[in-house]
Structure 1
Amino acid sequence: MFNQLSIWEEENDKSKHQSEKLPMQNAEVIYYQNFFDGNESNQLFVELYETTSWNQEDTILFGKQVKLPRLTAWYGDTDKSYSYSKITMQPFLWTPVLINIKSKIESFSKIKFNSVLLNLYRDGKDSVAWHSDDEPELGENPIIASVSFGANRRFTFRHKIQKELNYEIQLTHGSLLMMKGTTQHFWQHQIPKTNKLTQPRINLTFRQIK
């Protein structure tokens, strides 16, 4: 599987570090391509894949218990539990690789995070449905720092009120997406399924649990 890492690195190094503020109403979303360089991204992917305590959680969908279509893990400060989709997660303690990633994001953004949700999308069949990161414990205007390693995946937004407003971006190997302000009030986002992808992706969303 990790032979794919050389391809990700090659694609990642084709362009210089870039930042882009997405043109979305009622939102503050900034995309940093190649936030982590190719070699570092490859190393972090392997460490996260091999050392994270992955689990496939159960949730309730249309009254039936089903497995989430991805693997997840929750890490953070000892008192920072998190509930979503009828799932309550207690944090594992921070690992060296997570502290490393967190420290780089905090140094750059000047924002402190006390928890992180990790998702492992094993291939294109794994996904996450439309949702907003607006749980009460995230506060009024959550700040989310979303880091991606591995295969590129489509990340799509849709406005909650003006349904015709939507936006799509490719989250690439080593990228960082910052969502701030009223983004979660007005927008939902998803990772849709695709039959074209067989390689895995790891996503980390750093958060501030109040």
Structure 2
Amino acid sequence: MSRFDSTRTVNSEVIELPDADLRYFPQWVDAGLADQWLSELSAQTPWTQPQIRLYGRSIAVPRLVAWYGDADALYRYSGLTHEPLPWTPLLADIRQQVEQQVGQSLNGALLNFYRDGQDAMGWHSDDERELGHRPLVVSLNLGATRRFDFRRKGTSRIEYSIALEHGSLLVMSGLTQHHWQHQIARTRKVRAPRLNLTFRQIIREPIL
């Protein structure tokens, strides 16, 4: 079985956006191992499709999701509270490699499975209170290449787009989430599935 080579040199590029801290690793994991991760995680994850309230109606999110993490890493977003599934050996190994890359601890991972181009993620910022003042969100992308858009908060114009490729890693840190929103838009051009793992550090609230 192939293994992640933590000793190899991985090229990266800084994405220059004002009031943002963004770094992209286009080939963070080699294609063969990325294929293996995609196959195993797609098949083994107990996917759910949560319902959210939008304009007074209950609708299913247009993708499948799963939240993994340490036992006390509860994550609240879109009006939902997600209790973590325990780390699988594979996810624990991937987390360790991601932590080594960014030099910080990460105690949770949100998995989003986009079955084809009609599955999407609307405009949002990962700025929930439990992510702290400077949220670190590390996005591992497996499967189909999808366009990832950025826009300034309070505006509607797309300022920047990047094609997130199979095996790539996007690191969003600093004040990025305070000033920018991002989305994965629907597209008719993509028919293959995409699996996205976003690793985060949930800040545990102190006991009073």
The two structures have a TM-score, normalised by structure 2, of 0.91
CA separation in 2, counterparts of 1:66 and 1:30?
34
Partner of 1:120: 113
1:57-206 equivalence runs, <5 A: 57-161=50-154, 166-206=159-199
Identity %: 46
CA separation in 2, counterparts of 1:30 and 1:190?
17
C-alpha deviation, 1:86, in angstroms: 1.1
1:25-36 equivalence runs, <5 A: 25-36=18-29
Q: Is the 8 Å Cα contact of residues 29 and 179 (structure 1) preserved in structure 2?
A: yes
2:39 partner SS? helix
Q: Which one of 3, 11, 21 corresponds to residue 14 of structure 2?
A: 21
Runs of at least 5 residues in structure 2 that lack an aligned partner in the other structure: 1-8, 204-208
My pick for the range that moved more, 127-136 or 17-26, is 17-26
C-alpha deviation, 1:18, in angstroms: 2.9
CA separation in 1, counterparts of 2:145 and 2:154?
29
CA separation in 2, counterparts of 1:49 and 1:164?
33
1:100 partner SS? helix
CA separation in 2, counterparts of 1:28 and 1:148?
19
C-alpha deviation, 1:110, in angstroms: 1.1
C-alpha deviation, 1:162, in angstroms: 6.1
Partner of 2:39: 46
CA separation in 2, counterparts of 1:154 and 1:207?
21
Distance 1:123 1:164, change over 3 A: closer
CA separation in 2, counterparts of 1:165 and 1:201?
22
C-alpha deviation, 1:165, in angstroms: 6.5
Distance 1:198 1:28, change over 3 A: same
The amino acid that maps onto 2:93 is: N
Considering fraction of residues, name the structure with more helix.
1
My pick for the range that moved more, 150-159 or 97-106, is 97-106
Q: Is the 8 Å Cα contact of residues 70 and 86 (structure 2) preserved in structure 1?
A: yes
The amino acid that maps onto 1:127 is: A
Structure 1 segments of 4+ aligned residues over 3 angstroms from their partners: 161-165
1:18 partner SS? coil
My pick for the range that moved more, 95-104 or 123-132, is 95-104
CA RMSD, Structure 1 to Structure 2 (Å): 1.3
Runs of at least 5 residues in structure 1 that lack an aligned partner in the other structure: 1-15
CA separation in 2, counterparts of 1:83 and 1:52?
20
C-alpha deviation, 1:169, in angstroms: 0.0
Q: Is the 8 Å Cα contact of residues 149 and 158 (structure 2) preserved in structure 1?
A: no
CA separation in 2, counterparts of 1:164 and 1:81?
33
